[in-house]
Structure 1
């Protein structure tokens, strides 16, 4: 218990920043009109490649015997890749709606 409290007191500013980021994110997303929500989310999912790069870096720096870090890094790469591909698919489908149809 003492270790947890000392870790919290050592990282108190970071914890405050994360909590503030959560509230700001909820406020920003909550005020997005529903018409813009799908394009915004598909673009955000496409940019999610940053998570993939970060997960690859974490996996590369993890010690060979640190299996939890390697497993979490691998899962982050897989789920991040699915998110990126899904973002591109949704964006492509939305852009297809705005293309002019060819006459037969």
Structure 2
């Protein structure tokens, strides 16, 4: 494929992805992030396999960059999911303060 076609596919993917994700209600974001984290884990394993079998230094450099970026994406996804789950937990009820009478 020529570069113009590849660039067109990437640009259209960005627009479609943005529109799809922006229309998701806030109650569905946590399950959506969990599914995305699973996909990012698979991508990380693939990048590690490619890095392990790379013979060319350029291929090894690109594969290691893919490992670093996939790891950052995976960890970031878990951090965001954890923060979202904390938002839905609510606050713990306050314990009544004990009043000690001074005698």
Fold equivalence (TM over 0.5): yes
Matched, 1:42 2:33: yes
Match among 76, 84, 88 for residue 78 of structure 2? 88
Q: How many residues align?
A: 88
Between 1:92-101 and 1:36-45, the stretch displaced more is: 36-45
C-alpha distance in 1 between matches for 2:86 and 2:28: 18
Q: Higher relative CO (CA 8 A, sep ≥ 6), structure 1 or 2?
A: 1
Corresponding residue for residue 52 of structure 1: 44
Q: TM-score, normalised by structure 2?
A: 0.60
Corresponding residue for residue 100 of structure 2: none
C-alpha distance in 2 between matches for 1:96 and 1:31: 22
C-alpha distance in 2 between matches for 1:97 and 1:27: 24
Question: What are structure 1's unaligned runs of at least 5 residues?
Answer: 1-7, 9-14
Q: CA RMSD in A?
A: 3.3
1:71-100, CA deviations, whole angstroms, 9 ceiling, x for partnerless residues? 111111111111111111111111112225
Q: TM-score, normalised by structure 1?
A: 0.60
Q: CA deviation at 1:103?
A: 2.2
C-alpha distance in 2 between matches for 1:97 and 1:52: 28
